Structure 1
């Protein structure tokens, strides 16, 4: 272990002085001290929407409506560091590939459009006109030959305005190849909820949290991934609501919280206990645990204790009889085996549920990123339906989205599924024939790139190559493409692999003033609770050479598409309000009077039929759906030498962006190359604390996926499980190990074998 590396337990709560000290440290490390006052406008009605997570933004915000990770994201975007043409002249691409993810983004904001020169292995500055002309020429030629050989990817940061234009651009180009970051995280939600209750999103708003009697958490690390939610959880706990957590690891944010905005707690060291009960189930064992609770509820109701809302079931539900037969056929021994929990623990949790009238089920990628991620979502809905907890005040389903507008971009057309987009309306509105063929998902895009079936990749933000599975094959095959275009604010590893023609186009960040012909512009986003908010930029741009995302999309579209007078690209760029008018014309039920309603404090909500107990399903009712298995993993859990790997985010990162090397809550500092193991497993295999070991995929498909150099770390994690950081451990995930139907990578239960120091395989 190096002098910079330190691994020791952290005893503090989430929030508190640890959070404040982290904010101070990162302001200095990001060279962004001048950005500190800007935080006071973060997530405010008269300010900007955080560029990090998508948690809800209240109409009446706290004095500081930002969290530790939100502050880091703002500092990271408003850094004083710059990646100028001089920087790229000093470093070849091959050299930069040896840099860490953190070091690459620490180089600072991109300042000029850059074109890759394969002869010198450098990015070189180019003017915008040349960039657009060449990109347009390349895309036009590909479109002429086969438009389906182009991919249009987007991360979840792009605004509603940009996303709408980008989706229209792809369809005018001739395909529905619009994979996005949702394909890698919550597509299981979009598929599963649509099956069950007829909407692809959650039914809960902040108001529901104020009235809930209990909150059940599944696979969501609030302390690192959406810390502002801790305020809602603290308030719920303070008024006596029961918070019950199911998660393989004990995460500090779901255990204890000190509110940094509470002077009494800060001065006295006071804490709020978050979870009344905490159950460490096996990775992928959620279906079994939920099934056990449902079985107990059914048994109690049969014994004359009214635990089911039979009136709701009779009026609003379909498939309950089949679900009852499924529960009756389950043996408790099987439930205990697959969940990793005892019958007593499951009954204890179910009793808490039975004693609460209004219950919210909250979940994250610990539910969605499994082989049976969609069915795991079905089971959560079944759980709520048994007691009528959908469409009731203070109750509902709450998937916690990641990136700040990942849900919203789907609302305005970013989807590979043509059936989810009003293509007929687009055809009339813009006088063209939209493509009707199914587009490619993120996984399918990767498969096509590996097979040499993609000629062009346009990336609107994100770090695609680092985020996806099968890293070695992806990086090796990426250069086979003719064209790659990356629209970004900062450098990341994905930019270091290009097509034969490669462009890196720098854009304004959301916090930076966007001046167009009609004056400074604002944009909009949708949060996790389906509220649409305005975001007003506050700071001067990092470089005079930056263009806005809408401007870049419009110029590329104009350069490669034939003229269409019905698509007023230039008018839209002159005034983003006209883009919003077009969105309202395409989606009138959601966005009518868009330019007026967007200024409402707290935003305006799009209609959610299920919240009104209207079920847009094939049966016309809310559906009880039966899982095909009790565990959601690709392994059967019977081989003690195959571990279920959970990929994790640290306290010092958001998605693929690594802000630093401190995972405060897990006691890790100075490294990310660790593997968390159960102490009994370490003893059984003779692995010493701190020993360097490796991991390899347990997939038997002829492809070697192996990584070494992980420091073994004893941790409170279920036996047969291990944890390692994302995105480093992505190389261990085969592309084909994804959720059925949704194709979300199964990153929360990856079957792996441990490689010991002597070369043996555990």
Structure 2
């Protein structure tokens, strides 16, 4: 393969200089009037006030469009008349609805190599992509290309493969239900199940753990359950930054006397206090305390903490028979309880306390506060899902709920808080490299072709296949694959090994700059854009974290007339690639999205009367047996699990690093350079460390260090980071992603989920020598 000049700088990991870091004390509350001011600032920088107001007015409205940011659920019948969105939602709209557009003259002026030297923030701020662009073999600059010729290149390359399994398809959580359904349908008709998904990188562990224990790979709660809960435990989640609208729900729960316990290694503003920007009191600065208890747990000590709580509950049950545990529920609805009880009783509380880093008297106090409560919700995010033992840790959370009978009744249940806005919906639509008999049978019945039955590649396996040369074409429907995945240099080399890389995108990102021999960028609409097909307006639908299906219809004029919807891109690609061989009427789907939903109804359970119900004011809930107290497991019971509370051990010179988001960031999109809750402005190359760990290494605040990972005897390095003293347990540290994704080993993954262990990275910190 000839050398492509775009391959020199996969992640700008060795910047010549730092930016102008400004430090302040971390905040102790989230939101407030600052959130309003920042939201307005981002909107007005991106577009004129009229366009900005028009977009925000319809964001998460009943007749508007779904926020392209997180998957936090909208209230069913009590939406804010002021603004049913948060600061992050406003920032997301400023990114996708910007009137700054880049055309062929931009790409003619800037070579791929020049663009690759920018950091991710400045790449993303280039603007919306106005037309399809093509990077030819040995090319240095992207060139304009027609949609017709772009699809011809894709078809020629795909049809020239020795096997369909040499194609790698990836899907982002922004993709609508309609586009995702058609995407998996095309991929399977093409002949492979290689459909990597951003779910592989985040909540795959949740899905597997919940399927095994309660029979459905989704949470069992609704927003109303949060309001009615007696206790809410938030583990490994930072709602103030990642799901800010959750703070309003937590405020309401507190007003209803819920006990809220936060479990997180870092002291985060949004888990401490909340100043509601939609109330007069909030604007005046009045704070509402979010957490009654804040446990700064040692990284990966969550299972040990939960087992210690369980042991105290067994002791309390002995003292108060029938009052602490729900014995009726345990007897009638669960399996495996006796083995679980025996295992927990055998545990040493002092050892469990040491493993989790929480004093035993504090754990006992928490257990006592929960002793007589049986309406408990446990929420979690990637702080639980990105470890080697994530599946077992999530099963341990389920154990606590089963002890209390806290599943299948109001005010109780599991709540994995999903990140991207439709990542859960994409899985529902069949985006899954693991074959499921019912789905394949339904596809064959409805469409008349036999889908492949061999499991395909997930995200990590796709990278490995491309690295070995077994994956020759990469097609990404949304997302920023390179910056989202682990082991950046390894992943970059994998993409460079491809014959062709294709990205469907709204804006420029780093994945467009580290390419195969040839590359295509296919520009698409954002959620806020009006979509017309054959001159008729169309809407899409999404699924939120609580399993609600709702419609989404943009209201803004698109910034370019050369954009295609994701649905149209899939349909036109399928027509060009499959030609006369296809059994699917792609042309009709492209012209009328109702026809797509009619067929989703035939293939995917739970979508009866889809077109009718999706037009209801607040959409509709998908069936959720666990929510109803029924468990679709092999034994029709909710299953207790037995796991050993192993924790990460480090040598004297090592630290456990977790990758985190800045407050000015959503996933790989960098909105700005102000992580104001943590007091970090105008710099992202920082490492948050405990002051005792700094002293052991002779480090002072703002010392420049290099970070090393040696997993599997391979040296991985991220250079030039500034040391920031922070409230975090000893032997633990934190850095922003994607800057330190280079340190996450490609072959360090969760047991059973194959999810990168981005919250369990063992590193060494050394002073920079230059």
The TM-score bracket by the shorter chain reads over 0.9
Cα separation, 2, equivalents of 1:120 and 1:140 = 23
Matches within 5 A, 1:14-29: 14-29=30-45
Whether contact under 8 Å (1:32, 1:75) holds in the other structure is no
Cα separation, 2, equivalents of 1:513 and 1:31 = 17
Structure 1 residue corresponding to 2:766, chosen from 755, 758, 761: 755
* Alignment match, 2:379: 362
Cα separation, 1, equivalents of 2:247 and 2:458 = 33
Whether contact under 8 Å (2:548, 2:621) holds in the other structure is yes
**Residue segments in structure 2 that go unaligned for 5+ positions in a row:** 1-16
Whether contact under 8 Å (1:674, 1:713) holds in the other structure is yes
Cα separation, 1, equivalents of 2:635 and 2:252 = 38
1:10 CA displacement: 3.3
Structure 1 residue corresponding to 2:735, chosen from 719, 724, 727: 724
* Alignment match, 2:747: 736
Structure 1 residue corresponding to 2:652, chosen from 633, 640, 647: 640
Whether contact under 8 Å (1:642, 1:698) holds in the other structure is no
Structure 1 residue corresponding to 2:114, chosen from 76, 87, 95: 95
Alignment CA distance shift 1:610-1:12 (3 Å)? closer
1:333 CA displacement: 2.2
Whether contact under 8 Å (1:677, 1:713) holds in the other structure is yes
Cα separation, 1, equivalents of 2:48 and 2:689 = 37
* Alignment match, 1:134: 153
Give per-residue Cα distances to partners, 1:452-491, cap 9 Å, x unaligned: 1101111000000111111112212322211111111000
Cα separation, 2, equivalents of 1:757 and 1:349 = 43
* Alignment match, 1:398: 415
Structure 2 residue corresponding to 1:610, chosen from 606, 612, 626: 626
* Alignment match, 1:535: 552
Matches within 5 A, 1:225-624: 225-267=242-284, 269-305=285-321, 306-419=323-436, 422-517=439-534, 519-564=536-581, 566-587=583-604, 589-624=605-640
The secondary structure found in structure 2 opposite 1:250 is coil
The secondary structure found in structure 1 opposite 2:515 is coil
* Alignment match, 1:73: 92
Whether contact under 8 Å (2:474, 2:495) holds in the other structure is no
Matches within 5 A, 1:11-90: 11=27, 13-31=29-47, 33=49, 34-59=51-76, 60-63=78-81, 64-90=83-109
1:339 CA displacement: 0.4
Structure 1 residue corresponding to 2:217, chosen from 200, 222, 238: 200
Cα separation, 1, equivalents of 2:618 and 2:298 = 38
Give per-residue Cα distances to partners, 1:217-248, cap 9 Å, x unaligned: 00000001010111100111122211101110
Whether contact under 8 Å (1:391, 1:610) holds in the other structure is yes
Whether contact under 8 Å (1:30, 1:106) holds in the other structure is no
Say whether residues 1:113 and 2:132 are aligned partners: yes
Cα separation, 2, equivalents of 1:469 and 1:318 = 37
The secondary structure found in structure 2 opposite 1:710 is strand
Structure 1 residue corresponding to 2:665, chosen from 621, 636, 653: 653
Cα separation, 1, equivalents of 2:582 and 2:197 = 29
The secondary structure found in structure 2 opposite 1:611 is helix
Cα separation, 2, equivalents of 1:443 and 1:69 = 29
Alignment CA distance shift 1:601-1:209 (3 Å)? farther
Cα separation, 1, equivalents of 2:167 and 2:582 = 24
Cα separation, 2, equivalents of 1:704 and 1:655 = 26
* Alignment match, 1:169: 186
Query: TM-score, normalised on structure 2?
Result: 0.96
Cα separation, 2, equivalents of 1:726 and 1:437 = 34
Q: 447-456 or 709-718, which moves further after superposition?
A: 447-456
1:425 CA displacement: 1.1
Say whether residues 1:712 and 2:728 are aligned partners: no
Structure 1 residue corresponding to 2:713, chosen from 702, 709, 712: 702
Whether contact under 8 Å (1:196, 1:624) holds in the other structure is yes
* Alignment match, 2:3: none
1:670 CA displacement: 0.3
Number of residue pairs aligned between Structure 1 and Structure 2: 750
Alignment CA distance shift 1:2-1:571 (3 Å)? closer
Cα separation, 1, equivalents of 2:110 and 2:79 = 45
1:149 CA displacement: 0.7
Aligned-residue CA RMSD (Å) = 1.4
Alignment CA distance shift 1:221-1:11 (3 Å)? closer
Q: 662-671 or 208-217, which moves further after superposition?
A: 208-217
Cα separation, 1, equivalents of 2:370 and 2:541 = 37
1:565 CA displacement: 6.3
Cα separation, 1, equivalents of 2:254 and 2:445 = 52
* Alignment match, 1:123: 142
The secondary structure found in structure 2 opposite 1:534 is strand
1:628 CA displacement: 3.4
Whether contact under 8 Å (1:45, 1:599) holds in the other structure is no
Cα separation, 2, equivalents of 1:251 and 1:457 = 38
1:744 CA displacement: 1.0
Cα separation, 2, equivalents of 1:434 and 1:758 = 56
Cα separation, 2, equivalents of 1:626 and 1:439 = 30
Cα separation, 2, equivalents of 1:355 and 1:254 = 24
**Residue segments in structure 1 that go unaligned for 5+ positions in a row:** none
* Alignment match, 2:705: 693
Whether contact under 8 Å (2:200, 2:755) holds in the other structure is yes
Cα separation, 1, equivalents of 2:29 and 2:437 = 43
Query: TM-score, normalised on structure 1?
Result: 0.97
Alignment CA distance shift 1:79-1:421 (3 Å)? farther
Cα separation, 1, equivalents of 2:341 and 2:18 = 57
1:690 CA displacement: 0.7
Alignment CA distance shift 1:584-1:694 (3 Å)? same
